[in-house]
Amino acid sequence: MTSRTPPPPRTPVPPPPYVPGHGLLAGRTAVVTAAAGAGIGGATARRLLEEGARVLVSDAHTRRLKETETALATEFGADRVAAQPCDVTDETQVQALYDTAVRLHGRLDVLVHNAGLGGTADLADMTDDQWHRVLDVTLTGTFRCTRAALRHFRDTDHPGVIVNNASVVGWRAQAGQAHYAAAKAGVMALTRCAAVEAAAYGVRVNAVAPSLAMHPHLVKVTSAALLEELTAREAFGRYAEPWEVANVIVLLASDYTSYLTGETVSVSSQRA
């Protein structure tokens, strides 16, 4: 068998200009979990605001959440931005988050469930605590949030949209990521099943599966060698900007995808 020579490094293709808002979500209310900081959640909250929505941002990190709320409220107006701390492993806090959104704005329209937890450990050495912690935040946390949203939509007979955050690792094997991959594959399956049930009351449920979106927290928890390897897999020769993933979340939340439900959309330039 002839061995394959790895392809030479690609010259990175620069990201496109930032896309301005077009009012796709004007007048709607959105909730975004894990929205503090410079990652996908924070970028999504900003994009939703740029598209005209009112946004309730949430995170388990109260200091970063307050900073995010202040910055967004200064830019977009305090009447359109609110914050509620929430640890998605705590059912009481999850329910309080959705109750707050309804109290503030009278309705829910868009729910973006972004909270997740990663880590690296070979399966043979992985502890039960490592496994359970990643699954509890990433999969069970998404379940708790999706359940709370669906109960609201069912009981109020008000249509809406749920977008969950999965990962291409839910499809593709990566050493040291058994717990995270299992959790994200579970998010995909949860999304499909929830979509079938929610269709009866006019609710769409989809997910995004990013490959590599760079942000400061990822740099802290991932080695430079692994980041270089993952970046080399991308056809564009670069990682995604968090706002590029947020753009797809906004598309799924908008009326442009009114006949799309139960799907996981890959936000990736990796080759199959």
- Catalytic residue set: 180
Sheet holding 81-85, edge to edge: 81-85, 54-59, 29-32, 110-113, 161-165, 204-210, 264-267
Backbone angles phi, psi at 111, to 5 degrees: -120, 120
Q: How far apart are the first and last CA of the chain?
A: 22
Show Cβ contacts of residue 73 under 8 Å, excluding neighbours closer than 6 positions. Answer: 80, 81
- Torsion sign (Cα): 37, 40, 44, 46: positive
Name which of 162, 169, 164, 163 is nearest 185 in CA terms: 169
Q: How far apart are CA 173 and CA 63, in angstroms?
A: 35
Q: How far is CA 145 from CA 86, 90, 96, 110, 187, in A?
A: 11, 10, 11, 12, 12
Alpha helices by DSSP H, listed for 77-215, are: 91-105, 128-135, 141-156, 178-198
CA angle 21, 85, 140 (to 5 degrees): 90
Rg, C-alpha atoms of the chain: 18
